[in-house]
Amino acid sequence: MAETNTDFRERLQKIVFKALKATLKSLLFYGIYLVLWSFFAPVSKVLPGLQQMVETFVMVYLFLMFVGDLTSGTIFQYFFSAAKALFVICYLILSLKGGIYGLTYENVSLSIDLHLFLMIATLLSLLGFAKSVLQAINYMSEKEECTRV
């Protein structure tokens, strides 16, 4: 009876520590976002919808990061890490409309070709995705080695 009580207490402490760590990490990143956004606030007046687009990205990314930190030590940590990488790829492609961004401001039409930026960001996110997949494979192989011994 005493062993199950201490075991429960240790598990509870571990979960609380993970939740606290994930919360603090998310709050830190959100604080960094708020500081950086104050520098880009004048740009949002020129580009309508930029603030909403960036805030949506930050919120979903922070949620995936939070859940990934909560599930650290399990295989789900790598699933959420892979989901973050795929989310970045999909969100950039959808929000940048395939690489061509058009803007009209006071009778001036401006088109910006962002294919190079989109390609670099996509390749970096694919690298993160591959890292997550390889880490998941490594985690499962280590788990298998522990059960065989």
Rounded CA gap, 95 and 49, in Å? 11
pLDDT of residue 148: 66
Q: What is the pLDDT of residues 61-98, one digit of tens each?
A: 999 999 999 999 899 999 999 999 999 999 988 888 87
Q: Which residues of the chain have pLDDT under 70?
A: 1-3, 148-149
Q: Quick one: tokens of 132?
A: 């997550």
Structure tokens at 36: 């950086």
Can you tell me the distance from the alpha carbon of 78 to that of 132, in angstroms, rounded to the nearest whole number?
Answer: 5
Q: How many Å apart are CA 32 and CA 111, to the nearest integer? A: 30
What kind and span of H or E run contains 30? helix 2-46
Amino acid at 48: P
Which 3 state secondary structure label does DSSP give 73?
coil
Task: Specify the pTM.
Answer: 0.83
Q: What was the pLDDT predicted at 106?
A: 79
Give the pLDDT score at 2: 57
